[in-house]
Structure 1
Amino acid sequence: MRVVAKFGGTSLGSGDRINRAADSIAAAVEDGHEIAVVASAMGSTTDDLLDEITFEADEADQAQIVSMGERTSVRMLKAALSARGVDACFLEPGSDDWPVVTDEYGEVDVEETRKRALEVAADLEGVVPVITGFLAEGPDGSITTLGRGGSDTTAVMLGKYMEADEVVIVTDVEGVMTGDPNVVEGARNVGEISVDELRNLSFRGAEVVAPSALSYKDGDLDVRVVHYQHGDLLTGGTSIEGQFENLVDMREEPLACLTVAGRAIRNQPGVFQSLSAALGDHDVNIDAVASGMDTVTFYVDDEEAEFAENILHRQVIEQDALSSVTVDSPLAVVRVTGGELPNRPGIISEIVNPIENARINIHDLITSATSVAIFVDWDDREQTLEITQDLF
């Protein structure tokens, strides 16, 4: 099996941990697997170096300075592997076999990186390459970086381009947890999670795998997260399933928009819960929710609009904080889901402006970490879908 194993800063944070990492790599090689290693800077080296740049330094100089963390890690880990009789080499920008290159705009040069990655992969049967994460090489040979979480990006990208069977992210957590074990009781490991779920969690603060890395995951590449104390690269942890694709989708059935108004509704604890619970208790499915300072809006199946209106009206009568409920229908929703949406400044205007230029009224716009939902009149659905598909 061909595996790309990425070791995070914590898993390389001391000599003992480097020894532990080397032991796990050596064991996998002994079992006959082809292993490529991506190494982050030891511990908090990168942050420490950045903190010490208290002077004016251009981007090129900063990249050179922060690259020293990864450069040290690969040398340490290569030496530890050699001490175990494993034939290893380290690769960094400037090396003859260095794989990750960027174009003049600082974006990964996909074709060149894929070609170089396959050349590195061709030698995996005889040698273990230890590759600096986070770093790339510009078209002029300069050092560039892949941004925050860049070592994760390096690993998953190389896993894809090297045609690996699996990418293993070795870190300081037991895979993906049901909650933060430092905050909640009884947090446990999640054996499997989808790319969609994890990317949404990652953009909302879950520091497990960098969101940018998951953009490179396809359905043929397994990605797994394991704790550095686990010791076995090939078992345990959390498996990340599926792939994240750009997608434009339109709901086939019409929706109704039910808006409940109330005085300072956001400052009334339990109001939202009571409204959604009332709909749920009567088996009314909520497709989406939006809120304002004095309103809460529920989108439900249009055929259930009258039933849902009566349910919410009873809540309005019972709660002094609520004033009225109204219904607007039929509406359509077009959803844009894509791995790169959160990383594209101005993406909302890119979506909205062409729809506005077509004189289509947008009733509502709801965004999440990785998707945008556009609500329009039912009669405008086909044109909205066509405009949005043209964009993506």
Structure 2
Amino acid sequence: MALIVVKFGGTSIGNGKRIRKAANAVVKEYMSGKKVVVVVSAINKTTDELIKIVEDATKNIVTEKQLAEVISMGEMTSARIFASAIESFGVKSEYIDPFSDKWPIITDSNLLNAEVDLETTKKLSKNILNLLDEGIIPVICGFLGKDKEGHITTLGRGGSDVTAFVLAKCLNADEVIIVTDVSGVMTTDPNLIKSAKRLEKISVEEMRDLATHGAKVLHPDALKYKEPNLRAKIISFKHGDLSAPGTEIIGPSKEKTLKTTMSYPEPLSVIAVVGEEILYKPGILAKITSRLAKDNINILGISTGQNSVTLFVNKKDARKAHKILHELVIKDKDLSSVSIGKDVGMISVSSPDFVTTPGIISKITEPLKKHNINIVEISSSQTSIVIFVEWKDCEKVYNLVRDVLGSS
């Protein structure tokens, strides 16, 4: 019998009619022979309203414990109403909140931004499996946790997504369905560009990068808990049908540790294009990159300064790229010179944890400093760091970085 975990966001249960529509969708899946675990957020804007009330009432003189307890009321209310709605269709349901002896989500004691204790949570998830075996649909508060002292904790804004994927992992679920106010992952924000299209599929890696760069469809930490064989999709509440099409989240592509270190296997060359204040000249980057693309030369790294653009290309393409860019410099009044530099190596490190790890760059670069290794260039995003070093140092840097991060 298939087991699915369904998470309803705040907008999708924003009023009584929407809650009934959502409960009906859950009951339909249950009646088709599936086991269903429901995770609910607070009803639309409830958490914001509670925080505002606390701020006004206390002038921000409030402890983390007090604030966590107050804002937990949003999810606890949602769970009670949703379970009642399910039972109004004649199906047994039970709400599970941190005061329940069946509560599964155990965390550390960082009350307002807690980390899940996965081992303990997996043990306690047996309580949820027992309810499912009894034919009961559990409705579990998203966003909330409980530490080992029994204090209510929260998983940070958007933490209900984390709850859903953690439970799916611990229960060995077949599928996670995220029900939200959009029809899936879009090519861009449809509120900004009306022509945005829904994607049928997106990889875990792409979804994580979208989420860490501001897309609000899914909490980036949730994907840390997705197993490769777990089906997952994001759909709109408007369908009222959990089998409705949305965007499938595929992967991760391989079972691997959260930190991955890769070294580009061939030497690269550094090419620098200079010109007075070219950083402020519109179209310069487009001219450079499009000209190289025309000759099928790939750029593996690029950085800009006030008076320069630095490119990293495969060494075998370097002389050709140098000649092409020199022709561009001769023709373009905004550019003054181009040079080709030494051979370099590229090491990239990626982890979804980087966005929440202060000091990660210094942790990676400190061993290089101790070994007197010069960094030619370094670039970073919220989930990855790319380091360029002299080619002769590349293998050593690769091993140093792997050692310091415990990468695979």
Q: Same fold (TM over 0.5)?
A: yes
CA RMSD of superposed structures (Å): 1.2
What code does the residue aligned with 2:362 have?
S
Correspondence for 2:100 among 95, 119, 124: 95
| Residue 273 in structure 1 maps to residue 286 in structure 2 | yes
Q: Tell me the residue number matched to 2:54.
A: 53
Deviations 1:296-355 (A, max 9, x none): 111110111110011111111121111211122311011101121111111111111111
Q: 1:211-226 to 2 correspondence within 5 Å?
A: 211-226=220-235
Q: Partner of 2:131: helix, strand, or coil?
A: coil
Percentage of matched positions with identical amino acids: 40
Q: Tell me the residue number matched to 1:20.
A: 21
Q: Cα offset for 1:104?
A: 4.4
Q: 1:33-112 to 2 correspondence within 5 Å?
A: 33-54=34-55, 55=58, 56-104=61-109, 106-112=114-120
Correspondence for 1:368 among 381, 389, 394: 381
Q: Cα offset for 1:124?
A: 1.4
What are structure 1's unaligned runs of at least 5 residues? none
Correspondence for 2:249 among 230, 236, 240: 240
Cα distance in 1 between the residues matched to 2:174 and 2:6: 11
What code does the residue aligned with 1:372 have?
I
Cα distance in 2 between the residues matched to 1:102 and 1:369: 24
Q: Contact (CA 8 Å) 1:178, 1:187: kept in 2 or not?
A: yes
Q: Contact (CA 8 Å) 1:149, 1:212: kept in 2 or not?
A: no
Correspondence for 2:323 among 310, 330, 333: 310
Cα distance in 1 between the residues matched to 2:158 and 2:271: 41
Cα distance in 2 between the residues matched to 1:185 and 1:45: 28
Segment drifting more, 82-91 vs 103-112: 103-112
Segment drifting more, 103-112 vs 23-32: 103-112
Q: Cα offset for 1:114?
A: 0.9
TM-score (ref. length: structure 1): 0.97
| Residue 260 in structure 1 maps to residue 273 in structure 2 | yes
Q: Cα offset for 1:141?
A: 0.5
Q: Contact (CA 8 Å) 2:40, 2:140: kept in 1 or not?
A: yes
Q: Cα offset for 1:381?
A: 0.9
Q: Partner of 1:173: helix, strand, or coil?
A: coil
Cα distance in 1 between the residues matched to 2:187 and 2:293: 24
| Residue 114 in structure 1 maps to residue 122 in structure 2 | yes
Cα distance in 2 between the residues matched to 1:263 and 1:127: 70
Correspondence for 1:165 among 174, 184, 192: 174
Q: Matched residue pairs, number?
A: 392
Q: Partner of 1:259: helix, strand, or coil?
A: strand
TM-score (ref. length: structure 2): 0.94
| Residue 30 in structure 1 maps to residue 39 in structure 2 | no
What code does the residue aligned with 1:111 have?
E
Segment drifting more, 79-88 vs 229-238: 229-238
Q: 1:298-337 to 2 correspondence within 5 Å?
A: 298-337=311-350
Deviations 1:232-263 (A, max 9, x none): 21341000111284211101011111111121
Cα distance in 2 between the residues matched to 1:97 and 1:185: 45
Q: Tell me the residue number matched to 2:131.
A: 123
Q: Contact (CA 8 Å) 2:268, 2:312: kept in 1 or not?
A: yes
Cα distance in 2 between the residues matched to 1:387 and 1:41: 45
Cα distance in 2 between the residues matched to 1:118 and 1:189: 37
Q: Cα offset for 1:23?
A: 0.8
Q: Contact (CA 8 Å) 1:336, 1:372: kept in 2 or not?
A: yes
